[in-house]
Each structure stands twice: as C-alpha cells, then as structure tokens.
C-alpha cells in the first residue's frame, strides 16, 4: 500500500510518498522522510516525535 503526506507550510507543496505493508511500517518510513524535510525546510520548527506522528496521521492518505 502507498501512503502520502503533503507539507505546504511556507513553501510549494512537498509530497512525501512511501510504500509499506501496514500503518506501523509506513509511519517509520514517513517519520524518516519528514525529519529530513524538517531539517531542510523548517529549521526553526522544533517538533517532538509524538507531535510529528500526530501531524502525519492527521494528513496522510492511504492509496
């Protein structure tokens, strides 16, 4: 299954997509991508892992 999350806070929309067998695997992969994105595009945004998970789960789509 594919999972997709779009970030558009302060920049052109960035779509992050992962393939995973279940939600747990998808979250692990998505967290890694999101941490990279935060470090690159949102250096001033300090988010805990729990906050990041809630943000991702609130906006991801399962395809």
List, as one string, the DSSP characters of 14-30. EEEEEE-SSHHHHHHHH
Q: CB of 56 within 8 A of CB of 27?
A: yes
Structure confidence at residue 62 (pLDDT): 96
Residues 1-54 have pLDDT tens digits of 999 999 998 899 999 999 999 999 999 999 999 999 989 999 888 889 999 999
């Amino acid at each position: 299954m594919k999972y997709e999350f779009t970030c558009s806070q302060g920049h052109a929309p960035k779509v992050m997509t992962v393939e995973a067998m279940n939600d747990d695997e998808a979250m692990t992969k998505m967290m890694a991508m999101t941490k990279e994105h935060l470090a690159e595009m949102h250096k001033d945004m300090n988010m805990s892992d729990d906050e990041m998970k809630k943000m991702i789960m609130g906006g991801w789509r399962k395809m």
